[in-house]
Chains A and B, each alone.
Chain A
Amino acid sequence: MTGGVTRAEYCVVACAEAWRGDGEILAAPMGAVPRIGARLARRTFAPELMLTDGEAMIVGGGPEEGDPEVVEGWLPYRAHLALVTGGRRHVMMGASQLDRHGNQNISCVGDWKRPKRQLLGVRGAPVNTLNNPTSYWVPRHSRRVFVERVDMVCGVGHDRASAAGPAATRFHDLRCVVTDLAVLDFATPDRTLRVRSLHPGVTAEAVREATGFPLDIADDVPSTREPTPAELRLIREVIDPEGAREREVPS
Chain B
Amino acid sequence: MTAEEAVGRIRSGMTVGIGGWGSRRKPMALVRALLRSEVTDLTVVSFGGPDVGLLTAAGKVRKLVTAFATLDSIPLEPHFRAARERGDIELTELDESMMMWGLTAAVHRLPFLPVRAGLGSDVMTVNPGLRTVTSPYEDGEELVAVPALRLDVALVHLNRADAQGNGQYLGPDPYFDDLFCEAAAEAYLCCERVVATAEFADAGGPQTLLVKRHAVTGVIETPGGAHFTSCAPDYGRDEAFQSAYAKAAADPEAWREFTRRFLSGDEERYRAAVAAFGREGA
Q: Which residue numbers of A lie inside 8 Å of B, CB to CB? A: 55-57, 74, 76-78, 81, 84-85, 107-108, 112-127, 129-131, 152-156, 160-161, 163-168, 170-172
B65-116 residues with Cβ-Cβ distance < 8 A to A are 66-70, 75-76, 80-81, 84-87, 93-98, 100, 115-116
Measured in the bound complex, the distance between the Cα atoms of B82 and A116 in whole Å is 10
Are B120 and A168 in contact, CB atoms less than 8 angstroms apart?
yes
Q: Mark B153-187, 1 if CB is under 8 A from A, else 0.
A: 00000000000000000001111100000000000
Residues in B neighbouring A84, C-beta threshold 8 A? 97
Measured in the bound complex, the distance between the Cα atoms of B100 and A77 in whole Å is 10
Residues in A neighbouring B21, C-beta threshold 8 A? 77
Measured in the bound complex, the distance between the Cα atoms of B247 and A10 in whole Å is 36
Are B85 and A117 in contact, CB atoms less than 8 angstroms apart?
yes
Residues in B neighbouring A125, C-beta threshold 8 A? 95, 121
B40-78 residues with Cβ-Cβ distance < 8 A to A are 48, 66-70, 75-76
**Which of A57, A114, A122 contacts B68, CB < 8 Å?**
A122
Are A118 and B116 in contact, CB atoms less than 8 angstroms apart?
no
Q: Looking at B100, B116, B174, which has the most chain A CB atoms within 10 Å of its CB?
A: B116
For chain B, the count of residues having a C-beta within 8 Å of the partner chain is 40
Q: A118-B84, A121-B93, A125-B95 are in contact. Are A165 and B119 (CB under 8 A)?
A: yes
Distance from A113 Cβ to chain B, minimum over Cβ atoms (Å): 7
B126 at the interface (CB under 8 A from A): yes
Q: Looking at B68, B81, B85, B97, which has the most chain A CB atoms within 10 Å of its CB?
A: B97
Distance from B192 Cβ to chain A, minimum over Cβ atoms (Å): 19
Are B67 and A123 in contact, CB atoms less than 8 angstroms apart?
yes
Measured in the bound complex, the distance between the Cα atoms of B143 and A153 in whole Å is 18
Measured in the bound complex, the distance between the Cα atoms of B108 and A92 in whole Å is 34
**Which of B123, B143, B173 contacts A55, CB < 8 Å?**
B173
Of all chain A residues, the one with the shortest Cβ separation from B21 is: A77
